[in-house]
């Protein structure tokens, strides 16, 4: 096995294990920490895919900023642990009808996914074996800040719209979390 | 590595996130599961971007991350507001709109 394959399986294992821990932990603080571990695994995968910019942004913005926001909220609220006994009583999965319909749907989707993967050509060739990697950050910046036209789609409009989205989200968060006077 | 491996891994992560949203009874863990699903999609974008040798996949990933940050900020503000009124994070506690 080549070193690339070994690294892929190591990082993929970290990502999947972290995700499983997020879902299985009863204490939300541990869930957040497991998710940070999972993000580090994903970041390694991005390095393998020759996307260093995305790898670094994944660590700085996701594992840094967003997860700290989550951790801050968890500790601020002093969230109670999920009560297993209450879970058993109130969970919709204990209604037999929901379980049957859900199981059939999940089975159908798994079958369809397997079928689609088995029918797709070129899945066994190495990723990007025949194309050079576009990993230069300056190329990415040029594409991000150029307008549409000149034969290639630019992303400047989407970038500007994103800034409006962030302002709206910021104002919305402040309005929602504010203490009501009335 | 073949791109099929990346697609299967991405599907696996997405399923884990979906299972978290459906099974957990804690609003914060449900939001964390949504983040797992967004990251699974990001992995697909970057893998296909590498496959076709363009930067577009990485740029879309950048936008997905921005939207995820906005979603986390608003979602957590909602969680704080809900916790203030009901002292609970169990979605079963918020049934005022249930008919």
A64 vs A90, residue with greater confidence:
A64
**More confident position, A97 or B69:** B69
A101 vs B: CB within 8 A: no
Residue A15 to residue A36: CA distance in whole angstroms: 9
Whether the CB-CB separation of A37 and A18 falls below 8 Å is answered with yes
- A72 in Cβ contact with B78 (< 8 Å): no
Give me chain B's average pLDDT, please: 88
DSSP string of A70-88, one letter each residue: HHHHHHHHTPPPPPHHHHH
Q: What is the mean pLDDT of chain A?
A: 83
Q: Quick one: what percent of chain B has pLDDT higher than 70?
A: 99
Distance, C-alpha A88 to centroid of its chain: 29
List pLDDT tens digits, range A134-166.
777 888 888 888 876 666 667 888 889 999 999
Tokens standing for B39? 């990251």
Residue A48's nearest CA partner among A12, A17, A73 is A12
pLDDT confidence bin for A14, thresholds 50/70/90: very high
3-class DSSP state of A130? coil
Q: Is the pLDDT of residue B82 over 90?
A: no
Q: Cβ–Cβ of B62/A74 closer than 8 Å?
A: no
Whether pLDDT at A117 is above 70: yes
- Which chain B positions have a beta carbon within 8 Å of A179's beta carbon? 84
Tokens at B29, concatenated: 């863990």
Q: Do B1 and A131 touch (CB under 8 A)?
A: no
Residue numbers of A between 3 and 62 with CB closer than 8 Å to B: 4-5, 8, 12, 15-16, 19-20, 22-23, 25, 28, 31-32, 35, 38-39, 42, 45-46, 48-51, 53-54, 57-58, 61-62
């Amino acid at each position: 096995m080549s070193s690339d394959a070994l690294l892929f399986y190591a990082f993929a294992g970290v990502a999947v294990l972290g995700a499983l821990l997020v879902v299985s932990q009863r204490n939300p603080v541990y869930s957040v920490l497991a998710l940070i571990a999972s993000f580090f695994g994903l970041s390694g995968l991005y390095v393998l895919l020759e996307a260093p910019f995305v790898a670094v942004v994944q660590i700085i913005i996701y594992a840094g900023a967003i997860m700290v926001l989550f951790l801050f909220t968890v500790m601020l609220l002093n969230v109670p642990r999920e009560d297993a006994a209450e879970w058993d009583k109130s969970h919709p999965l204990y209604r037999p009808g929901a379980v049957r319909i859900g199981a059939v749907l999940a089975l159908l989707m798994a079958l369809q996914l397997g079928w689609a993967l088995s029918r797709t050509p070129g899945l066994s060739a190495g990723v990007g074996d025949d194309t050079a990697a576009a990993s230069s950050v300056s190329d990415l910046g040029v594409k991000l800040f150029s307008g549409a036209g000149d034969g290639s789609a630019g992303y400047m409009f989407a970038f500007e719209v994103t800034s409006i989205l962030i302002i709206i989200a910021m104002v919305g968060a402040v309005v929602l979390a504010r203490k009501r006077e009335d | 590595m073949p791109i099929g491996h990346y697609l299967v891994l991405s599907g696996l992560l997405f399923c884990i996130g979906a299972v978290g949203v459906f099974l957990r009874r804690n609003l914060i863990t449900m939001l964390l599961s949504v983040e797992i699903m967004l990251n699974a999609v990001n992995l697909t974008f970057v893998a296909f971007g590498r496959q076709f040798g363009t930067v577009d996949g990485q740029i879309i990933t950048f936008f997905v991350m921005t939207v995820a940050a906005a979603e986390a900020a608003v979602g957590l503000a909602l969680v704080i507001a809900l916790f203030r009124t009901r002292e609970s994070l169990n979605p079963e506690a918020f049934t005022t709109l249930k008919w």
